């Protein structure tokens, strides 16, 4: 029985926490993918910002022309920053939400909608899809985080 109890106190054995861990890993990996997409555009568009990154293209003036901005690079960077601005609150508030004792089905609903919305947001930003695709997918993810924050504040409130 001791082992049983010890086990039940491990967060990773809690189903809501397992769901949180799964979706958090997925959205953070998706966010990390933005680095690779930015790097891809920097290399294929030959658009760099650090002089040391253009050294392979030669020295002096011949390399200097690769220190430029490119619309695709900037777009990927904006998508990455938008991920940071939205996925950071999801992870922080989502962790507290997962520990606040929600029903598994309710928690899964929150995590699935947020994850789907952020994947859509990335496609809407990178393709790009016409508005309001990007705006709506952003708003859906934002609302999910807001809903979890409400549950956290209702459960934990101690000011």
The Cα 138–Cα 126 span in angstroms is: 14
The Cα 76–Cα 40 span in angstroms is: 10
Half-sphere exposure (Cβ direction) of 136: Cα atoms closer than 13 Å: 9
Q: Where does 45-70 have alpha helices with state H? A: 61-64
The Cα 106–Cα 118 span in angstroms is: 19
Q: Choose which of 45, 46, 63, 91 interacts with its own copies (CB under 8 A).
A: 91
Q: Choose which of 65, 99, 116, 137 interacts with its own copies (CB under 8 A).
A: 99
Q: Choose which of 57, 64, 69, 85 interacts with its own copies (CB under 8 A).
A: 85
Residues of the shown chain interacting with its own copies in the complex, contacts defined by CB under 8 A: 2, 5-6, 8-12, 15, 17-19, 21-26, 28-29, 31-32, 34-35, 49-50, 52-53, 55-56, 75, 78, 80-81, 84-89, 91-93, 95-96, 99-101, 128-131, 134, 142, 145-146, 149, 152-153, 155-159
């Amino acid at each position: 029985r001791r082992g049983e109890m010890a086990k039940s106190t491990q967060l990773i054995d809690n189903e809501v926490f397992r769901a949180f861990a799964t979706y958090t890993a997925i959205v953070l990996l998706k966010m990390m993918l933005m680095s690779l997409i930015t790097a891809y555009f920097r290399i294929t568009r030959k658009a760099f910002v650090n002089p040391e990154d253009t050294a392979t293209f030669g020295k002096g003036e011949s390399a200097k022309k690769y220190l430029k901005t490119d619309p695709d690079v900037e777009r990927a960077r904006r998508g990455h920053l938008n991920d940071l601005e939205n996925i950071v609150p999801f992870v922080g508030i989502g962790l507290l939400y997962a520990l606040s004792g929600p029903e598994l089905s309710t928690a899964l609903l929150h995590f699935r909608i947020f994850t789907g919305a952020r994947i859509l947001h990335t496609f809407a930003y990178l393709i790009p899809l016409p508005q309001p695709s990007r705006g709506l997918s952003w708003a859906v993810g934002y609302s999910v985080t807001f809903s979890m924050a409400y549950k956290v504040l209702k459960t934990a409130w101690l000011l």
